[in-house]
Amino acid sequence: MAPFSRFLLAVALLPVVQVAAGARYSGIFSFGDSLADTGNSLRLAATSSGPSSRPPYGETFFRHPTGRASDGRLVIDFIVEALGLPNPRPYLAGKSAGDFRRGANFAVGGSTALGPDFFDSRGLKPFVPVSFTNQTSWFKDVLQLFGSVHERRRMMARSLFLVGEIGVNDYLVALGNNTVGVGELRAFVPHIVAAVRSVLTEVIAAGARTVLVPGMIPLGCEPQLLALYRSGDYDPETGCITELNHLAELHNRALNGMLRQLRRAHPGVAILYADLYTAVADFIVSPRKYGFRDKPLAACCGGGKGAYNFNMTAFCGAAGTAACADPSEFVSWDGVHFTEAANRHISPAPRSRSTRPLLHLCFCPAEMQPSQMVLRFGLWSGRPQQDRRVPGGTH
């Protein structure tokens, strides 16, 4: 098996410290689910009393729950720190134009890419009443708060857009129904990718010039799914479920295909893909390289014990559950979400002068054309990535 590459984006350009102050991004707009939700879930009736509203969530950095599904910071937190920006305000926590001058976070824990009609037609029920359709509507509402069309487009051009990760909950809704097999979930992929494309089309039409699109994580390595989904096909080296990783790989191939189409349609927009799959898989294959324990498939917090420390009826934060002594030794926080330590390794924030982040973001001037980026730095921004084989899966 070939060793994993570091988690690289399609484009790796200037670090933020080398970008002239006048060319820095002025804000961030984020769409997604619990991997990016920094507080909307606390303000939504369906999720306000959820696990992330209770200790020990937030214990590592904030010292109290903030609505983030982790012991501390998320990848988006490290991105805004690297850019020298304040965190974008959760959409449900703001009202005025002043609240969103530096961006907005529309992500909601439990959100799906697909709307309720898609699930209703299949006899399925989403976890929360929020999909990418709602988040797009919220984005349009924020746009209307600002002045002229010119002002809006100028703000969008100088902002970084994060669209995703999204889709995990769409698959989990179906798997939790116990009537839909992994093979049937393959039919979900084009619909989810189309929903991502719809959001991308909206933000580009509004004036976005730099968009980062994270891909799907290796589903077969999630402690929750390992504990709940019984499979006869596990990778002998990692213990991950092969067919679920195949699904994630199919999702990422389709997502990349769509992004290539959008790049051709919008040559003046930098549309970047973030390979979450390889980053997380590398933690599983080589945990000690990142300071994790030798059992990377076990959750830090929960009451499940066993190999994965996961039990849906004894979820992290519930009575009788407990967090591990040192979350930084774990990849998974609660069996579903990542620890701050894992998020830090994924993010573009350097951990010391001698280490490099797994994620290399395009911290480039909003005025710079994608073609100039390639010519100046000799790096790729539109060609397909080389295949990366992951244990238990193929590309």
Q: What is the pLDDT of residues 39-59, one digit of tens each?
A: 999 999 999 999 999 999 999
Matching residue, tokens 């988006």: 76
CB 174, CB 124: distance < 8 Å: yes
Q: What is the pLDDT of residues 322-359, one digit of tens each?
A: 999 999 999 999 999 999 999 999 986 544 444 444 44
Q: What is the mean pLDDT of each run of 10 residues along the chain (395 residues)?
A: 33 31 77 98 95 97 97 96 94 97 97 97 96 98 94 96 98 89 94 98 97 97 93 90 97 97 96 94 96 96 91 93 97 98 81 45 39 26 32 31
What pLDDT does residue 277 have?
95
Nearest to 343 by CA among 85, 104, 68: 68
What pLDDT does residue 382 have?
30
- 34 flagged as catalytic: yes
What pLDDT does residue 250 have?
98
CB 303, CB 222: distance < 8 Å: no
- 266 flagged as catalytic: no
What pLDDT does residue 365 have?
35
What pLDDT does residue 391 have?
36
Question: Could you say which of 34, 41, 131, 347 is catalytic?
Answer: 34
What pLDDT does residue 85 have?
94
pTM recorded for the entire structure: 0.86
User: With helix as H, strand as E and coil as C, how does the chain read?
Assistant: CCCCCCCCCCCCCCCHHHCCHHHCCCEEEEECCCCCCCCHHHHCCCCCCCHHHCCCCCCCCCCCCCCCCCCCCCHHHHHHHHHCCCCCEEHHHCCCHHHHCCEEECCCCCCECCCHHHHHCCCCCCCCCCEHHHHHHHHHHHHHHCCCHHHHHHHHHCEEEEECCCCHHHHHHHHCCCCCCHHHHHHHHHHHHHHHHHHHHHHHHHCCCEEEEECCCCHHHCHHHHHHCCCCCECCCCCCEHHHHHHHHHHHHHHHHHHHHHHHHCCCCEEEEECHHHHHHHHHHCHHHHCCCCCCCCECCECCCCCCCCCHHHCCCCCCCECCCCHHHCCECCCCCECHHHHHHHCCCCCCCCCCCCCCCCCCCCCCCHHHHHHHHCCCCCCCCCCCCCCCCCC
What pLDDT does residue 348 have?
60
Q: 27 burial class (0-12, 13-18, 19+ CB within 10 angstroms)? A: buried
Question: Could you say which of 266, 337, 345, 360 is catalytic?
Answer: 337
CB 71, CB 59: distance < 8 Å: yes
Question: Could you say which of 334, 345, 347, 381 is catalytic?
Answer: 334
